[in-house]
Amino acid sequence: MEFTTPLIAARLIRRYKRFLADVCLPDGTEAVAHCPNPGSMMDMADEGIKIWLEPNDDPRKKLKYGWRLIEQDDGHFVGVDTGVPNRVVGPALLAHQIAGLPPYDAVRAEVKYADKSRIDFLLSDAVDTYVEVKSVTLSRTAGLAEFPDSVTARGAKHLEALTQMVAQGHRAVMFYMVQRTDCAALSLAADIDPAYAAAFARATKAGVQVLAYDCEIDPKGVTLRRPMPFVWDCAEI
């Protein structure tokens, strides 16, 4: 996935009200940017960090900049936009580029299922496969990504819905896309959201498949790369 408009480097002044960020542009002027991330962004919103913004000239948008990336001092990148994984995973599914999935003939997005929810992707074959996609940005230990970064009742609800699909004879996949270039494995932040961890344990024991992938990130775009090991044993819960 390539960014529609070339990104520009800036510095973060502060993030507030979840979806807003005051930024300092290259010429020293200040602006307000949209922050497309409802999570806590733990350790990702420190004053003065280098960020990358996508400008727009759409008259329908109140804010002329969207915060897309963080560039760390060591040159690694973190993707901020939680909507990016679906835009990356969708084309990869259509091209059959994701290893570990059951066979399928067709891909549909945002299909209604379960309790008035919408699945991110429905893979159709003799047995349907329901795929829910999550964006991962938290890392508290070097090399290890974690999910979630805040309490997510919605995320737990998605796991329960996937569990229901398995009980009905379908397949279900929880797909985590790690939007960091500095991590080699994924785990659960059970201390942040024990309820999510418990729902995850129930889901995986019921047969929900877990896939984790890392990606390449730079100011030009985001590309799905390769499978990432998941290093948490739900049997301990």
Q: Indicate whether 217 and 231 sit together in one domain.
A: yes
From 53, 78, 103, give the residue that closes a domain: 78
Quote the pTM value: 0.94
pLDDT of 116:
78
Note whether 72 and 150 are same-domain residues: no
Domain that holds residue 33: 8-78
59 and 122 share one domain? no
pLDDT per residue as tens digits for the range 114-125: 877 899 999 999
> Is residue 172 a contact partner of residue 202, using CB atoms and an 8 Å limit?
no
Q: Are residues 90 and 51 in the same domain?
A: no
pLDDT band at 206 (very low <50, low <70, confident <90, very high): very high
* Residue of higher predicted confidence among 59 and 49: 49
Contact 183, 145 (CB under 8 A): yes
Q: Are 100 and 224 in contact (CB under 8 A)?
A: no
User: Based on the structure, what is the number of domains in the chain?
Assistant: 2
Average model confidence (pLDDT) across the chain: 95
**What pLDDT score does 236 carry?**
42
- The length of the chain is 237
pLDDT digits (tens, 9 = 90+) for 68-123: 999 999 999 999 999 999 999 999 999 999 999 989 999 999 999 987 789 999 99
pLDDT at residue number 220: 97
First to last CA, the chain: 37
Q: Write down the pLDDT at residue 233.
A: 56
| Whether residue 88 sits in one domain with residue 197 | yes
